[in-house]
Amino acid sequence: MSKAMKQVEPVPESEIILLLRNKDEIVLKTLYKKHYQVIVGLVVNNGGSLQEAKDIYQDTIIIFLDKLKETDFELNCSIKTFLYSVGRRIWLEQLRHKNKFNGVLQDTDEFVALDVDDALEKESQFKAMHLALESLGEPCRSIMKDFYLQNQSMDDIANKFGYTNTDNAKNQKYKCLKRLKKIFLGAYNNLNAINNEES
């Protein structure tokens, strides 16, 4: 295949997030332009002015960047979906504040109504998993991170931690996973109890 025919590979979103966390201005400007029309379309199609739409989008980007500053924040959907759900929620709040919400919000693009409660539920799960992982002792914590986050093979893990064979490493991973699930359930229930008290 000639160079002219080669398609440019899209940059993985994990890399985009890393660059945004490092305050890469070019990536931020590109991201801003890429998703601008989706949020503007949502607001304008649901009774908002162009200026209101721009303000909503600005707030949405700020919230996203603030979230990226949190060390335990993990994006469990695409950037586009996250921005859309945040922008949608902000606009809904404004419509309700103005008493202009008629109970129906027309979604733009390929999006359907996003369940904010479901998004919050997933965020609680990710926080609980992060807490559980950090509470896990060694070598379990490193094994879990290497296998599930770094996608390392069991052969690599066996060599790294000095196991005599891959089966021994697999057995250890299984024991670690059982411990992680137990800690996760405790952390998740505690977070839910705290959230219920606050709401």
pLDDT at residue number 163: 92
- Closest by CA position to 166, among listed 191, 143, 188, 190: 143
The answer to whether residue 23 scores a pLDDT higher than 80 is yes
User: 116-199: what fold?
Assistant: Arc Repressor Mutant, subunit A (1.10.10)
Cis, peptide link before residue 139, omega less than 30° from 0: yes
Residue 136 contacts residue 144 (beta carbons within 8 Å): yes
Residue 169 contacts residue 163 (beta carbons within 8 Å): yes
User: 10-114: what fold?
Assistant: Rna Polymerase Sigma Factor; Chain: A (1.10.1740)
pLDDT at residue number 151: 80
Across the range 166-195, mean pLDDT stands at 82
pLDDT at residue number 188: 73
On average, the pLDDT of the chain sits at 78
pLDDT at residue number 10: 62
Is there a common fold for 10-114 and 116-199? Answer: no
Tell me how far apart the alpha carbons of residues 112 and 96 are, in angstroms, rounded to a whole number: 20
Angle between helices 50-69 and 25-44 (to 10 degrees): 140
Q: What 3-state DSSP class applies to 26?
A: helix
Identify the residue with better confidence: 122 or 187.
Answer: 187
DSSP-based helix, strand, coil % in the chain, nearest 5: 70, 0, 30
The answer to whether residue 158 scores a pLDDT higher than 90 is yes
* pTM for the model: 0.48
Residue 149 contacts residue 93 (beta carbons within 8 Å): no
Residue listed under structure tokens 């989706």: 38
- Domain spans of the chain, in order of start: 10-114, 116-199
Q: What 3-state DSSP class applies to 33?
A: helix
pLDDT at residue number 184: 82
DSSP state of 103: S
State which amino acid sits at residue 162. G
Tell me how far apart the alpha carbons of residues 9 and 12 are, in angstroms, rounded to a whole number: 9
For 138-156, the pLDDT digits (tens) are 999 899 888 877 788 899 9
The answer to whether residue 35 scores a pLDDT higher than 90 is no
